Structure 1
Amino acid sequence: MSERDLQGIELLPAALPVRQLFILLHGGGGTPADMLPLADTLSAVFPQAAFLLPEGLSEFDGHDSGRQWFSLDGLSDDNRAARVAAAMPALHALIRQAQDRLKVMQPDTALVGFSQGAIMALEYGIAHDGGVGRVLAFSGRFTTLPDRAPEFTTLHVLHGKDDPIIPVEHAYAAYERLMQCQGDATLDVASPVGHELHAALVDRAVHRLQTCIPLRTWKNALNGA
């Protein structure tokens, strides 16, 4: 079942209860519909999941259509972090409201983003550790490399090697920093792939969701042993 309104697109499983929640964030200048192919792929693998595809918080700079999570007008390395931080409370409220309404726990929630949406998702994973169980970031980056890694959220970084918009070096740097901080993260790079939700990266995301056991689970098992 689906609901389309000014807040985006919502896809619910045919049979209740909802077991997992996926929140998919489109890129700058995009729309929730851009994320429908990814939602369709994931729903075939997770038939008991709900999918929320929200609209960006404001109209896209300089265009009559499309939305954005934060303004790109005059964006620089000096102001990117502040703009993302300003948008974070609204995203956090959206996630919490969806979890409460659909009765889905934080570990059973995945925050998925593309491009600007991936920036929001990665930063959310740091700012709200445990607010979601997983972050899947396609063609994104950190505003600045974090000085700590989340303990209760697994980060999956997915990137095209030939991305001309957000160079793949950002993905390598993010993964290296997360490893230095003993974080729970994976990295998948596909070539020749640019700035896109490419099928090769989507396949890797599905593989990670199906097979990657969170590091915290292994640590708990070892401690128990």
Structure 2
Amino acid sequence: MRFPLDGVSLDDPILEGPSLRPHHGGDPDALVVLLHGYGADGRDLIDIGKAWADLLPGAAFVSPHAPDPCEGAPMGRQWFPLTFRDPHELTRGTEGAAPILREFLAAELAKYDLPPERLALVGFSQGAMMALKIATTAVVAPAAVVSYSGMWAEAAGGRGDMVLPARPPVLLVHGTEDEVVPAEALFASARGLAEAGVPLEWHLSPGLGHGIDDAGLAHGGAFLAEFLGRRRT
């Protein structure tokens, strides 16, 4: 089964961004999509693919630029606007940005002839919100999700009791000193996802602010290798 491709032309890019071919040099047996945060772009995360190349030698990596110019950082991109005044803007924002990202994922999987079970989503901050939104509302659950310094928007919006169509394994990673998305967001997300039946793990990096450290990177790579390590037959 594939993600729906209605209206998608593989000749017309939906989103664009840097990518890496598999470390082993052959055709990809998995796809890891890296979703950047508010005010950045796809170049911000693509080097994670190089760091994980030995762990995931058969995986292709792609880090798309978000669709819209960032209102708060003119040189960057955003998945959706942020005002920090509307308590529902995260749920509305992830919902509104989800269709174009779903189309991009469908096109990328089709390009490599991969099923959604060989997809992993990795997001940072706003990109982590998108990764969790897409993964838990998919027709077919992806292999795994790694969320860095983000949150599950539904839990933040008081909708943690919703029934989820998909329950992929999730790793939540956060810094204890995150000044943008407080570490409490990890615990709220973990509670909501666990109550919804999502298998999850979490890691707190002591003293880390809004970023990714070596420990978090190692945990994320090992987590994905656990679920993507087997080559497709």
TM-score greater than 0.5 by the shorter chain: yes
Q: Which has the higher strand share?
A: 1
* Equivalence for 2:87: 77
Task: Work out the CA distance in 2 between the residues paired with 1:22 and 1:193.
Answer: 25
By percentage of residues, which structure has more helix?
1
Q: 1:31 aligns with which of 41, 62, 75?
A: 41
Out of 52, 60, 69, the position equivalent to 1:50 is: 60
1: distance between equivalents of 2:48 and 2:85? 28
Unaligned 5+ segments in structure 1 are 1-5, 214-225
1:17 corresponds to = 27
CA distance in 2, matches of 1:189, 1:74: 24
Q: Does 1:97 align with 2:110?
A: no
SS of alignment partner, residue 40 of structure 2: coil
Q: Distance in 2 between matches of 1:45 and 1:155?
A: 18
Please provide the CA RMSD for this pair: 2.0
Measure how far apart 1:98 and its partner are: 0.3
Aligned to 2:16: 7
From 176, 198, 208, the equivalent of 1:193 is 208
TM-score (normalised: structure 1)? 0.85
- How far, CA to CA, are the matches of 1:110 and 1:196 in structure 2? 20
Deviating more after overlay: 60-69 vs 83-92: 60-69
Runs of 4+ more than 4 Å apart: 149-152
Residues in 2 aligned to 1:8 and 1:75: alpha-carbon distance in whole angstroms: 30
| Contact in 2 for aligned 1:77/1:143 (Cα 8 Å) | no
Distance 1:111 1:156 in 2: 11
Distance 1:22 1:210 in 2: 11
Post-superposition Cα deviations, 1:34-64, rounded to whole Å, max 9, x if no partner, equal 1022111122321211011100110010433
The one-letter amino acid of 1:143's match is A
Distance 2:112 2:93 in 1: 29
Higher relative contact order (CA 8 A, sep 6+): 2
Once residues 70 and 195 of structure 1 are traced to their aligned partners in structure 2, the CA distance between those partners, rounded to angstroms, is 19
Say whether 1:157 aligns with 2:172.
Answer: yes
AA paired with 1:31? D
- Name stretches of at least 5 consecutive residues in structure 2 with no aligned partner: 1-14, 229-233
Task: Give the corresponding residue for 1:219.
Answer: none
- Partners of 2:164 and 2:217 in 1: CA distance: 24
